[in-house]
């Protein structure tokens, strides 16, 4: 699955499962923010939730939704 398609699916899954209060954003690894702030935190891709690194080096949509659900219950 292409990354753009995966992110779109993730956004829809988050909205469907948890409502519109949660936001999902794709950080382009070539962006200045990624190079200046997140590059040393690799391996990329990073999944960042509420400013904290939740997953490194993989993009698992079910794991991200599960983690968001866990965090919203706390």
d(CA 54, CA 64): 8
Separation between Cα atoms, residue 28 and residue 53, nearest integer Å:
15
Question: 57-68, pLDDT tens digit by residue?
Answer: 777 878 887 888
Query: Region 37-56: what's the mean pLDDT?
Result: 75
Question: Model pTM greater than 0.85?
Answer: no
Write the CB contacts of 31 (distance below 8 Å, at least 6 apart in sequence). Answer: none
Q: What is the pLDDT of residues 24-33, one digit of tens each?
A: 666 667 778 7
């Amino acid at each position: 699955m292409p990354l753009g398609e995966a992110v779109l699916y993730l956004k829809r899954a988050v909205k469907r499962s948890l409502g519109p209060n949660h936001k999902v954003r794709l950080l382009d690894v070539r962006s200045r923010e990624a190079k200046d702030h997140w590059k040393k935190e690799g391996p990329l891709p990073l999944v960042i939730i509420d400013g904290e690194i939740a997953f490194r080096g993989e993009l698992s949509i079910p794991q991200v939704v599960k983690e968001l659900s866990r965090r919203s219950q706390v």
